[in-house]
Structure 1
Protein backbone atom coordinates (compact mmCIF):
# COMPACT_ATOMS: atom_id res chain seq x y z
CA UNK A 1 0.00 0.00 0.00
CA UNK A 2 1.23 3.50 -0.85
CA UNK A 3 1.43 6.36 1.60
CA UNK A 4 -1.34 8.91 2.09
CA UNK A 5 0.40 11.47 -0.15
CA UNK A 6 0.14 9.19 -3.17
CA UNK A 7 -3.57 8.60 -2.64
CA UNK A 8 -4.11 12.33 -2.17
CA UNK A 9 -2.32 12.91 -5.46
CA UNK A 10 -4.48 10.26 -7.11
CA UNK A 11 -7.68 11.87 -5.84
CA UNK A 12 -6.53 15.32 -6.97
CA UNK A 13 -5.72 13.98 -10.43
CA UNK A 14 -9.15 12.36 -10.74
CA UNK A 15 -10.84 15.49 -9.42
CA UNK A 16 -8.92 17.59 -11.94
CA UNK A 17 -9.87 15.28 -14.81
CA UNK A 18 -13.56 15.12 -13.95
CA UNK A 19 -13.67 18.76 -12.77
CA UNK A 20 -17.14 18.88 -11.16
CA UNK A 21 -17.40 22.69 -11.35
CA UNK A 22 -16.89 22.79 -15.10
CA UNK A 23 -19.46 19.99 -15.45
CA UNK A 24 -22.17 22.17 -13.89
CA UNK A 25 -22.97 24.23 -17.04
CA UNK A 26 -23.00 21.00 -19.07
CA UNK A 27 -25.44 19.46 -16.61
CA UNK A 28 -27.65 22.56 -16.75
CA UNK A 29 -27.71 22.47 -20.56
CA UNK A 30 -28.51 18.76 -20.78
CA UNK A 31 -31.24 18.90 -18.14
CA UNK A 32 -32.77 22.28 -18.95
CA UNK A 33 -36.13 20.71 -19.89
CA UNK A 34 -36.26 18.33 -16.94
CA UNK A 35 -38.28 18.83 -13.80
CA UNK A 36 -36.46 19.28 -10.50
CA UNK A 37 -37.25 15.66 -9.60
CA UNK A 38 -35.83 14.45 -12.91
CA UNK A 39 -32.69 16.54 -12.38
CA UNK A 40 -32.13 14.96 -8.97
CA UNK A 41 -32.54 11.50 -10.48
CA UNK A 42 -30.10 12.38 -13.26
CA UNK A 43 -27.63 13.63 -10.65
CA UNK A 44 -27.83 10.34 -8.74
CA UNK A 45 -27.48 8.25 -11.89
CA UNK A 46 -24.47 10.28 -13.02
CA UNK A 47 -22.67 9.88 -9.70
CA UNK A 48 -23.37 6.12 -9.66
CA UNK A 49 -22.38 5.82 -13.32
CA UNK A 50 -19.02 7.52 -12.78
CA UNK A 51 -18.29 5.30 -9.78
CA UNK A 52 -19.22 2.14 -11.74
CA UNK A 53 -17.14 3.11 -14.78
CA UNK A 54 -14.04 3.80 -12.67
CA UNK A 55 -14.56 0.60 -10.69
CA UNK A 56 -14.61 -1.43 -13.93
CA UNK A 57 -11.37 0.26 -14.99
CA UNK A 58 -9.83 -0.60 -11.60
CA UNK A 59 -10.84 -4.27 -11.63
CA UNK A 60 -10.45 -5.13 -15.32
CA UNK A 61 -8.11 -2.50 -16.74
CA UNK A 62 -4.88 -4.38 -16.04
CA UNK A 63 -6.30 -7.62 -17.49
CA UNK A 64 -7.27 -5.80 -20.66
CA UNK A 65 -3.72 -4.49 -21.01
CA UNK A 66 -2.35 -7.99 -20.45
CA UNK A 67 -4.66 -9.42 -23.09
CA UNK A 68 -3.51 -6.80 -25.61
CA UNK A 69 0.16 -7.27 -24.74
CA UNK A 70 0.65 -3.67 -23.58
CA UNK A 71 3.17 -3.00 -20.82
CA UNK A 72 2.17 -0.80 -17.90
CA UNK A 73 5.03 1.61 -18.68
CA UNK A 74 3.81 2.05 -22.27
CA UNK A 75 0.29 2.61 -20.97
CA UNK A 76 1.63 5.04 -18.37
CA UNK A 77 3.21 7.10 -21.18
CA UNK A 78 0.04 6.93 -23.27
CA UNK A 79 -2.13 7.81 -20.30
CA UNK A 80 0.16 10.71 -19.46
CA UNK A 81 -0.17 12.05 -23.00
CA UNK A 82 -3.97 11.81 -22.79
CA UNK A 83 -3.95 13.68 -19.47
CA UNK A 84 -1.51 16.24 -20.88
CA UNK A 85 -3.75 16.97 -23.86
CA UNK A 86 -6.79 17.25 -21.58
CA UNK A 87 -4.95 19.60 -19.24
CA UNK A 88 -3.74 21.80 -22.11
CA UNK A 89 -7.26 21.97 -23.51
CA UNK A 90 -8.58 23.00 -20.08
CA UNK A 91 -5.95 25.74 -19.95
CA UNK A 92 -6.70 27.10 -23.41
CA UNK A 93 -10.23 26.25 -24.53
CA UNK A 94 -12.25 24.90 -21.56
CA UNK A 95 -15.74 23.62 -22.17
CA UNK A 96 -17.45 21.27 -24.56
CA UNK A 97 -18.54 21.62 -28.14
CA UNK A 98 -22.19 22.12 -29.09
CA UNK A 99 -22.21 18.65 -30.64
CA UNK A 100 -21.37 17.13 -27.24
CA UNK A 101 -24.30 18.97 -25.69
CA UNK A 102 -26.91 17.43 -27.97
CA UNK A 103 -28.79 14.77 -26.04
CA UNK A 104 -32.25 13.59 -25.11
CA UNK A 105 -33.90 15.56 -22.33
CA UNK A 106 -34.47 12.63 -19.95
CA UNK A 107 -32.48 10.74 -17.32
CA UNK A 108 -30.59 8.80 -20.01
CA UNK A 109 -28.18 11.74 -20.34
CA UNK A 110 -26.74 10.63 -16.98
CA UNK A 111 -24.98 7.73 -18.72
CA UNK A 112 -24.37 9.20 -22.18
CA UNK A 113 -22.87 11.75 -22.52
CA UNK A 114 -22.44 12.82 -18.85
CA UNK A 115 -20.78 9.66 -17.48
CA UNK A 116 -19.23 8.54 -20.75
CA UNK A 117 -17.35 10.21 -22.31
CA UNK A 118 -17.52 13.62 -20.58
CA UNK A 119 -16.74 12.67 -16.95
CA UNK A 120 -15.38 9.11 -16.68
CA UNK A 121 -13.62 9.21 -20.02
CA UNK A 122 -10.23 7.92 -21.25
CA UNK A 123 -8.27 10.33 -19.05
CA UNK A 124 -9.90 9.20 -15.81
CA UNK A 125 -9.66 5.53 -16.74
CA UNK A 126 -6.00 5.91 -17.68
CA UNK A 127 -5.22 7.43 -14.29
CA UNK A 128 -7.08 4.60 -12.52
CA UNK A 129 -5.24 1.81 -14.36
CA UNK A 130 -1.83 3.41 -13.81
CA UNK A 131 -2.34 3.94 -10.08
CA UNK A 132 -3.93 0.52 -9.60
CA UNK A 133 -0.76 -1.14 -10.92
CA UNK A 134 1.43 0.39 -8.20
CA UNK A 135 0.42 -2.20 -5.58
CA UNK A 136 -1.46 -5.48 -5.28
CA UNK A 137 -2.40 -5.02 -1.64
CA UNK A 138 -6.01 -5.26 -0.58
CA UNK A 139 -5.84 -1.91 1.22
CA UNK A 140 -4.44 -0.27 -1.91
CA UNK A 141 -7.56 -1.15 -3.90
CA UNK A 142 -9.78 -0.21 -0.99
CA UNK A 143 -8.15 3.24 -0.76
CA UNK A 144 -8.68 3.78 -4.50
CA UNK A 145 -12.35 2.82 -4.17
CA UNK A 146 -12.67 5.35 -1.32
CA UNK A 147 -11.31 7.98 -3.74
CA UNK A 148 -14.01 6.93 -6.23
CA UNK A 149 -16.67 7.36 -3.56
CA UNK A 150 -15.41 10.81 -2.59
CA UNK A 151 -15.33 11.89 -6.23
CA UNK A 152 -18.83 10.58 -6.94
CA UNK A 153 -20.14 12.26 -3.80
CA UNK A 154 -18.54 15.55 -4.89
CA UNK A 155 -20.27 15.26 -8.27
CA UNK A 156 -23.60 14.53 -6.62
CA UNK A 157 -23.25 17.53 -4.32
CA UNK A 158 -22.51 19.84 -7.26
CA UNK A 159 -25.56 18.66 -9.16
CA UNK A 160 -27.76 18.38 -6.06
CA UNK A 161 -27.26 22.02 -5.12
CA UNK A 162 -27.57 23.30 -8.66
CA UNK A 163 -29.84 26.26 -7.72
CA UNK A 164 -27.21 27.54 -5.27
CA UNK A 165 -24.44 27.27 -7.85
CA UNK A 166 -26.58 29.10 -10.40
CA UNK A 167 -26.84 32.03 -7.97
CA UNK A 168 -23.27 32.14 -6.65
CA UNK A 169 -20.98 30.85 -9.42
CA UNK A 170 -20.33 33.08 -12.38
CA UNK A 171 -18.90 31.87 -15.68
CA UNK A 172 -15.61 33.55 -14.74
CA UNK A 173 -15.40 31.55 -11.50
CA UNK A 174 -15.98 28.28 -13.33
CA UNK A 175 -13.41 29.29 -15.95
CA UNK A 176 -10.80 30.04 -13.29
CA UNK A 177 -11.49 26.70 -11.59
CA UNK A 178 -11.08 24.87 -14.89
CA UNK A 179 -7.76 26.62 -15.57
CA UNK A 180 -6.40 25.67 -12.14
CA UNK A 181 -7.51 22.05 -12.60
CA UNK A 182 -5.91 22.05 -16.04
CA UNK A 183 -2.58 23.23 -14.62
CA UNK A 184 -2.63 20.51 -11.95
CA UNK A 185 -3.48 17.94 -14.60
CA UNK A 186 -0.57 18.98 -16.82
CA UNK A 187 1.85 18.62 -13.88
CA UNK A 188 0.53 15.15 -13.04
CA UNK A 189 0.67 14.13 -16.72
CA UNK A 190 4.33 15.12 -16.97
CA UNK A 191 5.10 12.94 -13.97
CA UNK A 192 3.22 10.03 -15.59
CA UNK A 193 5.18 10.37 -18.83
CA UNK A 194 8.52 10.69 -17.07
CA UNK A 195 7.82 7.59 -14.98
CA UNK A 196 6.76 5.63 -18.07
CA UNK A 197 9.82 6.62 -20.08
CA UNK A 198 12.04 5.70 -17.16
CA UNK A 199 10.45 2.24 -16.99
CA UNK A 200 10.56 1.64 -20.75
CA UNK A 201 14.23 2.50 -21.09
CA UNK A 202 15.28 1.24 -17.61
CA UNK A 203 16.79 4.58 -16.68
Structure 2
Protein backbone atom coordinates (compact mmCIF):
# COMPACT_ATOMS: atom_id res chain seq x y z
CA UNK A 1 0.00 0.00 0.00
CA UNK A 2 1.13 3.55 -0.67
CA UNK A 3 2.12 5.68 2.35
CA UNK A 4 -0.67 7.86 3.75
CA UNK A 5 1.26 11.13 3.42
CA UNK A 6 2.14 10.37 -0.21
CA UNK A 7 -1.53 9.82 -1.03
CA UNK A 8 -2.59 12.99 0.79
CA UNK A 9 0.16 15.05 -0.89
CA UNK A 10 -0.59 13.60 -4.31
CA UNK A 11 -4.31 14.32 -4.09
CA UNK A 12 -3.76 17.84 -2.74
CA UNK A 13 -1.19 18.82 -5.37
CA UNK A 14 -3.11 17.15 -8.18
CA UNK A 15 -6.28 19.04 -7.30
CA UNK A 16 -4.51 22.38 -6.81
CA UNK A 17 -2.29 22.22 -9.91
CA UNK A 18 -5.20 20.67 -11.82
CA UNK A 19 -3.60 19.07 -14.92
CA UNK A 20 -7.02 18.34 -16.56
CA UNK A 21 -7.94 22.02 -16.18
CA UNK A 22 -4.61 23.35 -17.46
CA UNK A 23 -4.59 21.12 -20.56
CA UNK A 24 -7.41 22.87 -22.48
CA UNK A 25 -6.00 26.31 -21.66
CA UNK A 26 -2.57 25.26 -22.87
CA UNK A 27 -4.10 23.83 -26.03
CA UNK A 28 -5.67 27.21 -26.71
CA UNK A 29 -2.45 29.11 -26.01
CA UNK A 30 -0.39 26.93 -28.36
CA UNK A 31 -2.90 26.45 -31.17
CA UNK A 32 -0.61 28.30 -33.59
CA UNK A 33 2.56 26.48 -32.51
CA UNK A 34 3.97 23.37 -34.09
CA UNK A 35 3.82 20.04 -32.25
CA UNK A 36 7.52 20.25 -31.40
CA UNK A 37 7.23 23.83 -30.13
CA UNK A 38 4.20 22.96 -27.99
CA UNK A 39 6.03 19.98 -26.50
CA UNK A 40 9.12 22.02 -25.63
CA UNK A 41 7.06 24.78 -24.02
CA UNK A 42 5.07 22.21 -22.00
CA UNK A 43 8.23 20.62 -20.61
CA UNK A 44 9.81 24.00 -19.93
CA UNK A 45 6.71 25.26 -18.10
CA UNK A 46 6.64 22.15 -15.92
CA UNK A 47 10.35 22.45 -15.10
CA UNK A 48 10.03 26.12 -14.14
CA UNK A 49 6.99 25.39 -11.98
CA UNK A 50 8.90 22.58 -10.26
CA UNK A 51 11.80 24.94 -9.49
CA UNK A 52 9.46 27.56 -8.01
CA UNK A 53 7.67 25.01 -5.82
CA UNK A 54 10.94 23.47 -4.64
CA UNK A 55 12.26 26.88 -3.56
CA UNK A 56 9.18 27.47 -1.43
CA UNK A 57 9.28 23.88 -0.14
CA UNK A 58 12.82 24.38 1.18
CA UNK A 59 12.85 28.07 2.13
CA UNK A 60 9.18 28.98 2.58
CA UNK A 61 9.16 28.37 6.33
CA UNK A 62 12.35 30.42 6.74
CA UNK A 63 10.70 33.28 4.87
CA UNK A 64 7.67 33.09 7.17
CA UNK A 65 9.98 33.21 10.18
CA UNK A 66 11.71 36.30 8.83
CA UNK A 67 8.30 37.95 8.49
CA UNK A 68 7.27 36.79 12.00
CA UNK A 69 4.34 34.76 10.69
CA UNK A 70 3.36 31.64 12.65
CA UNK A 71 3.04 28.47 10.62
CA UNK A 72 -0.44 27.84 12.04
CA UNK A 73 -1.51 31.25 10.72
CA UNK A 74 -0.15 30.35 7.31
CA UNK A 75 -1.92 26.99 7.54
CA UNK A 76 -5.26 28.75 8.14
CA UNK A 77 -4.64 31.28 5.37
CA UNK A 78 -3.54 28.53 3.00
CA UNK A 79 -6.60 26.47 3.81
CA UNK A 80 -8.91 29.42 3.14
CA UNK A 81 -7.09 30.07 -0.14
CA UNK A 82 -7.44 26.45 -1.19
CA UNK A 83 -11.12 26.52 -0.22
CA UNK A 84 -11.64 29.53 -2.47
CA UNK A 85 -9.98 27.67 -5.33
CA UNK A 86 -12.29 24.72 -4.64
CA UNK A 87 -15.30 27.05 -4.69
CA UNK A 88 -14.24 28.42 -8.07
CA UNK A 89 -13.69 24.90 -9.42
CA UNK A 90 -17.15 23.69 -8.36
CA UNK A 91 -18.86 26.73 -9.88
CA UNK A 92 -16.49 26.87 -12.89
CA UNK A 93 -15.14 30.31 -11.99
CA UNK A 94 -11.52 29.11 -12.08
CA UNK A 95 -11.81 27.83 -15.64
CA UNK A 96 -13.41 31.09 -16.73
CA UNK A 97 -10.60 33.15 -15.20
CA UNK A 98 -7.95 30.95 -16.83
CA UNK A 99 -9.64 31.32 -20.21
CA UNK A 100 -9.75 35.10 -19.82
CA UNK A 101 -6.04 35.10 -18.94
CA UNK A 102 -5.29 32.95 -21.97
CA UNK A 103 -7.29 35.31 -24.22
CA UNK A 104 -5.21 38.25 -23.00
CA UNK A 105 -2.00 36.40 -23.83
CA UNK A 106 -3.31 35.42 -27.26
CA UNK A 107 -4.32 39.01 -27.93
CA UNK A 108 -0.70 40.16 -27.59
CA UNK A 109 1.13 39.28 -30.82
CA UNK A 110 4.54 39.81 -29.17
CA UNK A 111 4.02 36.96 -26.71
CA UNK A 112 5.14 33.68 -28.26
CA UNK A 113 6.61 31.56 -25.48
CA UNK A 114 3.89 30.88 -22.88
CA UNK A 115 5.99 28.49 -20.80
CA UNK A 116 6.94 31.08 -18.15
CA UNK A 117 3.80 33.22 -18.19
CA UNK A 118 1.05 32.28 -17.80
CA UNK A 119 1.75 28.51 -17.66
CA UNK A 120 4.54 28.10 -15.07
CA UNK A 121 3.38 31.11 -13.09
CA UNK A 122 0.59 31.52 -12.12
CA UNK A 123 -1.25 28.53 -13.62
CA UNK A 124 0.96 25.70 -12.36
CA UNK A 125 2.96 27.25 -9.51
CA UNK A 126 0.29 29.66 -8.34
CA UNK A 127 -0.44 30.84 -4.78
CA UNK A 128 -2.54 27.75 -4.07
CA UNK A 129 0.22 25.34 -5.10
CA UNK A 130 2.83 27.29 -3.15
CA UNK A 131 0.66 27.24 -0.02
CA UNK A 132 -0.04 23.53 -0.48
CA UNK A 133 3.61 22.48 -0.83
CA UNK A 134 4.60 24.51 2.23
CA UNK A 135 1.81 22.98 4.31
CA UNK A 136 2.69 19.48 3.14
CA UNK A 137 6.37 19.99 3.95
CA UNK A 138 5.34 20.96 7.47
CA UNK A 139 3.46 17.66 7.78
CA UNK A 140 6.65 15.74 6.92
CA UNK A 141 8.42 15.04 10.21
CA UNK A 142 10.97 12.52 8.96
CA UNK A 143 13.26 12.15 5.97
CA UNK A 144 11.06 9.35 4.62
CA UNK A 145 7.96 11.55 4.80
CA UNK A 146 9.82 14.40 3.08
CA UNK A 147 10.71 12.00 0.28
CA UNK A 148 7.02 11.03 0.05
CA UNK A 149 6.01 14.67 -0.44
CA UNK A 150 8.65 15.20 -3.12
CA UNK A 151 7.67 11.95 -4.81
CA UNK A 152 4.05 13.12 -4.91
CA UNK A 153 5.14 16.48 -6.36
CA UNK A 154 7.23 14.77 -9.05
CA UNK A 155 4.35 12.43 -9.90
CA UNK A 156 1.86 15.27 -10.24
CA UNK A 157 4.24 17.37 -12.35
CA UNK A 158 4.95 14.36 -14.58
CA UNK A 159 1.21 13.91 -15.13
CA UNK A 160 0.91 17.65 -15.78
CA UNK A 161 3.69 17.58 -18.37
CA UNK A 162 2.05 14.61 -20.09
CA UNK A 163 -1.34 16.35 -20.05
CA UNK A 164 0.11 19.52 -21.59
CA UNK A 165 2.00 17.60 -24.26
CA UNK A 166 -1.16 15.69 -25.17
CA UNK A 167 -3.43 18.71 -24.62
CA UNK A 168 -4.87 18.90 -28.12
CA UNK A 169 -5.75 15.20 -28.57
CA UNK A 170 -6.88 14.96 -24.93
CA UNK A 171 -9.42 17.75 -25.26
CA UNK A 172 -10.83 16.26 -28.44
CA UNK A 173 -11.13 12.90 -26.68
CA UNK A 174 -12.74 14.05 -23.41
CA UNK A 175 -14.89 16.93 -24.55
CA UNK A 176 -15.97 19.97 -22.56
CA UNK A 177 -18.70 18.20 -20.56
CA UNK A 178 -16.43 15.48 -19.19
CA UNK A 179 -13.82 18.07 -18.22
CA UNK A 180 -16.47 20.09 -16.35
CA UNK A 181 -17.59 17.03 -14.37
CA UNK A 182 -14.02 16.10 -13.42
CA UNK A 183 -13.23 19.66 -12.36
CA UNK A 184 -16.28 19.86 -10.08
CA UNK A 185 -15.53 16.52 -8.43
CA UNK A 186 -11.95 17.59 -7.76
CA UNK A 187 -13.24 20.89 -6.38
CA UNK A 188 -15.39 19.12 -3.77
CA UNK A 189 -12.42 17.00 -2.71
CA UNK A 190 -10.18 20.06 -2.44
CA UNK A 191 -12.79 21.82 -0.29
CA UNK A 192 -12.64 18.97 2.23
CA UNK A 193 -8.83 19.04 2.30
CA UNK A 194 -8.85 22.83 2.71
CA UNK A 195 -11.27 22.58 5.64
CA UNK A 196 -8.90 20.11 7.30
CA UNK A 197 -5.99 22.56 6.92
CA UNK A 198 -8.05 25.29 8.62
CA UNK A 199 -9.08 22.93 11.44
CA UNK A 200 -5.46 21.89 12.00
CA UNK A 201 -4.35 25.53 12.04
CA UNK A 202 -7.01 26.53 14.55
CA UNK A 203 -6.22 23.52 16.73
CA UNK A 204 -2.53 24.42 16.71
CA UNK A 205 -3.22 28.06 17.50
CA UNK A 206 -5.48 27.20 20.44
CA UNK A 207 -2.92 24.70 21.73
CA UNK A 208 -0.20 27.35 21.67
CA UNK A 209 -2.51 29.85 23.39
CA UNK A 210 -3.42 27.35 26.11
CA UNK A 211 0.25 26.51 26.67
CA UNK A 212 1.10 30.18 26.95
CA UNK A 213 -1.72 30.78 29.46
CA UNK A 214 -0.63 27.79 31.52
CA UNK A 215 2.93 29.09 31.58
CA UNK A 216 1.81 32.56 32.70
CA UNK A 217 -0.38 31.19 35.46
TM-score w.r.t. the length of structure 1 is 0.92
- Tell me the distance in 2 between the aligned counterparts of 1:134 and 1:167: 39
Deviations 1:5-46 (A, max 9, x none): 122111101100111111111101111111111101111112
User: In the alignment, which residue of structure 1 is the partner of 2:78?
Assistant: 79
| Deviation for aligned residue 1:64 | 0.6
Measured in 2, the distance between the counterparts of 1:165 and 1:123 equals 25
RMSD: 1.6
- Partner residue in 2 for 1:11: 10
2:145 to 140, 147, 150: 140
How many matched pairs?
200
- 2:214 corresponding residue in structure 1: none
Does structure 1 conserve the Cα–Cα contact (< 8 Å) formed by 2:26 and 2:167? no
* Structure whose alpha-carbon radius of gyration is higher: 2
Contact 1:31 1:105 in 2 (8 A): no
* Secondary structure in 1 matching 2:33: coil
Distance in 1 (alpha carbons) for counterparts of 2:101 and 2:120: 12
Q: Secondary structure at the match of 1:96?
A: helix
TM-aligned CA deviation for residue 99 of structure 1: 4.0
Which residue of 2 is the match for residue 44 of structure 1? 43
TM-score, normalised to structure 2's length?
A: 0.86
Unmatched tracts of structure 2, length 5 or more: 211-217
Query: 1:20 maps to which residue?
Result: 19
